[in-house]
Amino acid sequence: MANLRNSAAALFFLSQVVGTTEAGEDCVPIAALGTSSLDKYDFSVSMAVDDDDAFTLKVNFKHDGDLPIPTDPANQCDPAIVPPEIASDGLPYWAFRWSYESVSEEVKKVTGIDHISIDFNPCGHPPVEKFGAPHYDLHMYRETPEYRTCMTCNTFPGAPICNFFPDEQTTESGRAYFDISMIDGTDQPKNMPEGYVVGPEDAVVLMGGHGWNPDQEPPSSAEWVDPVWIMGTYDAQIAYYEPMIPLVFMSGDSNNVFQEEITYQAQTMKELPSTVKVKYNGTTGVTNVILKGSKMIDCEDKPKKFTIDMDGTMKEKDCDWLASKKGKKPQKQLCKKKVQVNGKDKKLHLHCKETCGQVGRGKCAFLKDS
């Protein structure tokens, strides 16, 4: 789902589409996330990991020909018309069609993805002048479905948009929508490509915030032909990412290919995909979404205390002690030392992965530039 830059139109449109949560409500039924099966899309996922811990994830699916396509968008896609025209599947044309499925434990461990939601929008969604064409949102969520049911907020009346006015969010789950990790002194979100914007009006309940580059918008919905890469936030984390794929890209007899190389600003999540490729086969009707990146690395400091030799005396310390040492040079020197954990020797950078990574030591050294 794209950023909702035209907030007035977006609020009205979305109020007709997705069920909203009551102010202060903790969680919603899991049915609110849609159908828990992707069988109708001939969905499959495969993954390969090479000797350098680089992964290639391939998601395959086909457009479901039974889904409705509006033939009179001016009337069928206008939520202001009451009663709305009902499509063949029993829903208004402008309603979203959500379905999801969990990925394997191996895929979760390597990529951080928990489940994939294929969401079809027959009438598109706001901003309708840009994305008001039939398309798929292929959300790749890093949180569980159960967790998402508790991603609730105080919404605007009748709309699934989290109220972004000051002090309107009275719960932790609601405030988490507006907790975005930014590079200090800038408007650039961390772990997103340069130029991405996460507007306060873009927080959609049960999804998260929405970030994308305005320069990548199509000129109009009628001219939208290539996928657009979106990244979602929640509680200062990347909650999901998605390619939005217009139906015209994955229709017809001709093959289509889209590819984007992605560089992230202040990257702290090594597993974020560095290449996104979307391929459509005009003969088989299959669309492949191919992500390439590096295997997820655990960069958390271990809570357990360790024993370290300090000037000939063995002392018990923890990673908070290491982080408290003033200056990077002392930390670097300590991270190279051996310590004892449960009576076994190990390098300190293998125990205090995040703290040592932030000074350029160990497998999490990429955190140094974040």
Q: How far is CA 49 from the centre of its chain?
A: 22
What is the model's pLDDT at position 292? 98
Which residues lie closer than 8 Å to 5 by C-beta, 6 or more apart?
126, 127, 199, 201, 214
How far is CA 364 from each of CA 88, 159, 213, rounded to the nearest angstrom?
52, 42, 28
Q: Which of 134, 165, 127, 139 is nearest to 12 (CA)?
A: 127
Distance CA 319, CA 87 (A): 59
Global pTM value:
0.84
Determine if the peptide bond prior to 243 is cis (ω within 30°).
Answer: no
Give domain limits for the chain. 7-294, 306-369
How far is CA 20 from each of CA 24, 141, 148, 191, 334, rounded to the nearest angstrom?
12, 20, 14, 29, 52
Q: What is the pLDDT of residues 207-221, one digit of tens each?
A: 999 999 999 999 999
- DSSP track, 215-271: GGS-SSGGG--S-EEEEEEETTEEEEEEEEEEGGGG-SSS-EEEEEE--EET---TT
Distance CA 34, CA 99 (A): 5
As beta bridge partners, residue 35 has: 99
List per-residue pLDDT tens for the chain, 370 residues long. Answer: 544 444 334 444 444 444 444 444 589 999 999 999 999 999 999 999 999 999 999 999 999 999 999 999 999 999 889 999 999 999 999 988 999 999 999 999 999 999 999 999 999 987 889 999 999 999 999 999 999 999 999 998 867 789 999 899 999 999 999 999 999 999 999 999 999 999 998 898 999 999 999 999 999 999 999 999 999 999 999 999 999 999 999 999 999 999 999 999 999 999 999 999 999 999 999 999 999 999 998 888 999 999 999 989 999 999 999 999 887 788 999 999 999 999 899 999 999 999 999 999 998 888 886 6
What is the model's pLDDT at position 241? 98
Q: Which of 257, 332, 311, 327 is nearest to 289 (CA)?
A: 257
What is the model's pLDDT at position 329? 84
